[in-house]
Structure 1
Amino acid sequence: MSALGLASPLELLDELRRKVRALHQLQFQVLEIVGALDQQGAAESLGYKDLIELFKHTLRWDPRLSRRKLAQAKALCPAVTPSGAKVEPMLPLAAAAMATGDLSEDHIDVVAEAMAGLPAIAEVHLVDYAQQHEPRSAKAFYKELAYRLDQDGPEPKDPEPAQPRNVVRRQWKSGRYHLFADVDAETGAKLDALIDPLAKPGPADLRFAPEREGDAFCEVIDLAMRAGHQHISGGERVQLTVTLDYDKLRTGIGTARLDNGEQIPMHQVRKIACDAAVIPMLLGTRSQVHDVGRRTRTINAGLRRVLIARDKGCTFPGCDRPPSHCEAHHIQHWSNGGRTDLGNLALLCRRHHDLVHYSDWQLHMANGMPAYRPPAYVDPHRTPRHNQIHAVA
């Protein structure tokens, strides 16, 4: 019989309390590490678009769990400004209570939700109550506390002024493109009809709706760029022109200029040159035009059909995105002499196309099929992986 079997109920309860307290302390330490990774921009430095994708591969965390951990870390962990100054956490009392094992992650969720609409002074009351009650009771307490602090409710707002019929605002900011649109119902319905089919989650797709719809919107842009019925501009079909220095293209270092004047890094030029109607304008040392076009790097309809027949969808391990959601990626970059043929191409969805270009995942051909060698922090042995979902399709 084990030692637990010989213990009395009170002894077992005491031991359980110690273990649970230690578990809460360990969970707080995990959040501290998550917060530090977020502060350091670890995802970007490793080629991932965010920590959610990084944790999916390194910790096998569900994106929902990753979002929860990140939100809790932002609330409980101190931050450091670009100048190096330390900023205290948003919930210092809750952080101290969890660090000693007095609050659980569920309690933290309740306190954080409550403090979003309460003054800072309310935290002491919330934490004190949460240390003595379960999360559900703490949630009822904060609702009553909020009512007592503001029995009159929010002041009535003036009616919103009428909006113009169709408005689009566009802005480049910190390397990102911010877009706001307020359009009529007919145009909105047409956009929904384009986005909805592309934004449907697959069996293994755990992204939240805003992220799926954002990726779908980007796919609509890509489809419009590739469409054969594009509008004519200046005697040619609409296309994106990228102006770059030949030596920068060869070395992969530096930036290129879009036709709107924005600068983009060279590794991003290599990505968009894989499967888009993009014309690179190569410049020599004196900015003379070396070449405009070389459109043979874009695959034709016949080659794409063969590629679809082989890959059946995104070739990244574990991805179930269909061919209609994929781009053709040059395994050896076109700018480095890579050929536009079946042996140098692989289908990748937009999300994993970015990952292959910007991270340490390495794509190569093995027995005529795309194979992926993961980074060492995902698999120390870097054992090649295949997408087994489409292999059995």
Structure 2
Amino acid sequence: MAETLDPYLVDLERLHADLDRVVERDPVFLPVATKRQALLMAASASSRAQAVLARLVGCAEDVADAEGHRDVASWLTHRTHDSLTTTRRAQRLGVACEQRWHRVGLGLLGRRMSVDQAQVIVAALDELACGRDLVEAPAEEWAEVLVRAEVYLVEQAVGFGPRELRRLGERLLEVVAPQWAEELERRQLEAAERAARRRTTLSVQHHGDGTAFIRARVPESVALRVTTMLEAFTNPRKENGEQAGAEADGRRVPYERRLGEAFCSLIEALDPARLPLHGGDATTLVITMDLATLTAGLGTATLADGSRITAGEARRLACTAGLVPAVLGTRSVPLDLGHATRLFSPGQRKALAIRDRECRADGCSMPATWCEAHHLKPWSAGGRTDLANALLLCSHHHHLIHDDRYLHQRMPNGDLRFARRT
């Protein structure tokens, strides 16, 4: 007696049979209008098939458990010889739609979005869900925010692709809960800046052929400063979508090589007497922020390339970089364009090095040559750039004094003592 198949399997068998008939047809000589329609239909069918797989993978952990596999993605990879990356991607999407974002799952199965769109939406919603602890929102209110956010992105998927949806997801809270948007962005940027400092690395690998491979991971603001320096040497301009530059014989020089040569020129142009870099003059940056944000040190600021940093980081950079703050008043009217004269001069830094000798944080012995000059009273609050209003701090303690998680007090000998807020 033949085994009776589950209706689910029967439908999948029928789908395979339909695909067999399609595969047997040669599309090469189809009319243009037919090809156009066939492309759209095939893309839609492919997306729905991926959606079905993701949904199935999302509820099939018992299959992996029955055969001792770590998860269903590894089981499926072993059986289909597909890449683990592909099956993991399907598993993450399926689990997300099955357990957290049901409207996304329905939209995916109902042909209202593609798998790529769903992946972007799920990532944005998951990131937003993690933001509740940062803004300390009540659980009930935050649950309503997440519902509105999911509904909004599912609706936007009708008219926008993955790239546009990713951008909408980045500013999602401004649409569904604007009362918490600024606070969440500020705290996320603070966390990102702290994480960026922890992840900062640089390694040098010598190839033995007269060259070395330098690999660095640095905060975005540092990367922008380096780019600004290098482009001063390369004087870049674009021609036909490519960066200009040519050898003496007319051959085009790749822009990456020109940046490498500019890096070499930059290193050769450094004055050894003024190292470390923060002990001398640094690259000029333009940072845009409103007056209230600048004064309070809370909120966010914008770099020249559109990157966002916290106001605290902007105030810290003001002590060490050639910073041009574009301070805005009401209706974004410029109130002031600061100048690099806000920085301590090389002569003042030498005097500070003689006076302080090392970092003035209590218990720190970092030598003066590796320290940065700090305004005791911030220049944004009217502090003067003179020796009476300055002391040396190493990079670690200079970050701490601008970190609102820490308190600091001046000791009788003039040193600073730090304590984490409780």
Which has more radius of gyration?
2
Higher helix share: 2
TM-score normalised by structure 1 residue count: 0.38
**Larger relative CO (CA 8 A, sep 6+): 1 or 2?**
1
